[in-house]
Amino acid sequence: MLWGMSPKSMRVLPPGTVMITGATAGLGLEFAEQLGAQGHPLVLVARNLERLKEVAAELENKYGVAVTTISADLTNRADVDKVALRLGDQKDPIEILINNAGHGLKQSFLVNDVEDEQAHLDIHVTAPMRLSHAALRSMTQRGHGAIINVASVAAFLPRGSYSAAKDYMVKFSEWANSEFADQGVTVMALCPGFTRTEFHQRMDVSADSAPKYLWLEADRVVSECLADLAAGKAISIPSKRYKAIVGAATMIPSGALRRFQSMGRK
Ligand SMILES: NC(=O)c1ccc[n+]([C@@H]2O[C@H](COP(=O)([O-])OP(=O)(O)OC[C@H]3O[C@@H](n4cnc5c(N)ncnc54)[C@H](OP(=O)(O)O)[C@@H]3O)[C@@H](O)[C@H]2O)c1
């Protein structure tokens, strides 16, 4: 489906409620700001209820849109099911789902406790897969809707289990984009590079661990992403520099990409 034929900066998605996971910080909060400013009612999902309520009140105040919250830990199956139930509500449908919540692991695979690796897999793959399943059932019945899966440029680089998880979301989104296009549903993977959010702070990693020119601002990542969604794309890679990096990475043998392995982890 192609939404909006106006110039890139003026593209507006169709009206309807947007659900954003990980909506209280970083990219999720930026999605909430930009879509709230466009008049979309919002459903915000994260763990910290107090912070959710604060963000909801601020967005309602600023943009005059209805904002509801669901406190859920997306590494917990019962909580994921609670969010999936909301996605199945056809009387108050979710028009756009943004699977964004995530966290990084500072250590390498064998140093990490296997339960930490499991939680990492749960939040980056299992939760978005289950939420996409619920959303796609509702959206295909209605004949419209969209899903953004926040992946990463790491999907195209050898960066351990994080790359593997993000690669799943890219492949899943590419497939679903063509599978459900005829039923009026767009599915897209967003693949940002290093972006200034709380992600690296939460990992206890310094911004100096990646060169300055590689850092992006969240507002730019989100506005390019929304323009790409409106154009019906299957993958969005914000900024020319990361488009070039991904283009090169697909041509370079994986052994030569080893220097990217530990960047952004110290
Ligand atoms: N920043 C980057 O450089 C970068 C680059 C590429 C891709 N990404 C991807 O972008 C996405 C968003 O990351 P960000 O950089 O915006 O991170 P962030 O600033 O740390 O925000 C993370 C958000 O996710 C929520 N969250 C974390 N764990 C959760 C859980 N178990 N259940 C539910 N919500 C949870 C947090 O709220 P609570 O703590 O209250 O739950 C918060 O709202 C992630 O999928 C990440 O992999 C980030």
DSSP character string of 104-172:
--SS-TTTS-HHHHHHHHIIIIIHHHHHHHHHHHHHHHHT-EEEEEE--GGGGS--HHHHHHHHHHHHH
Q: What is the pLDDT of residue 2?
A: 42
Q: How far is the CA of 115 from the centre of ligand 1 (A)?
A: 19
* Share of residues in the chain with pLDDT > 90 (%): 85
Distance between CA 9 and CA 83 in Å, rounded? Answer: 32
Residue nearest to atom 24 of ligand 1 (CA): 22
Ligand 1 atom closest to the CA of 75, numbered from 1: 31
Q: How far is the CA of 203 from the centre of ligand 1 (A)?
A: 11
The per-residue pLDDT of the chain, averaged, comes to 92
Distance between CA 168 and CA 164 in Å, rounded? Answer: 6
Q: Does residue 98 sit in helix, strand or coil? A: strand
CATH fold for domain 13-260? Rossmann fold (3.40.50)
Q: How far is the CA of 150 from the centre of ligand 1 (A)?
A: 10
Whether the pLDDT of residue 5 is over 70: the answer is no
The letter for the amino acid at 203 is M
Distance between CA 126 and CA 109 in Å, rounded? Answer: 18
Alpha helices in the chain (DSSP H): 26-37, 49-63, 77-87, 114-121, 127-142, 160-180, 199-202, 218-230, 240-249
Residue nearest to atom 36 of ligand 1 (CA): 22
pTM greater than 0.75: yes
Q: Does 102 contact ligand 1 (Cβ within 6 A)?
A: yes
Q: How far is the CA of 253 from the centre of ligand 1 (A)?
A: 30
Structure tokens at 164: 């593997």
Q: What is the pLDDT of residue 247?
A: 93
Q: Which residue has the higher pLDDT, 4 or 109?
A: 109
27-to-127, 149, 220 alpha-carbon distances in Å: 18, 12, 10
Q: How far is the CA of 199 from the centre of ligand 1 (A)?
A: 6
Q: Which of 25-29, 135-139, 247-251 has the lowest mean pLDDT?
A: 247-251
Residue with tokens 């466009």: 38
Q: Does residue 20 sit in helix, strand or coil? A: strand
Q: How far is the CA of 262 from the centre of ligand 1 (A)?
A: 19
The letter for the amino acid at 17 is T
Do the Cβ atoms of 86 and 20 come closer than 8 Å? no
Ligand 1 site-directed mutation target among 24, 34, 116, 197, most atoms within 8 Å of CB: 197
Distance between CA 189 and CA 152 in Å, rounded? Answer: 8
Report pLDDT digits (tens) over 34-68.
999 999 999 999 999 999 999 999 999 999 999 99
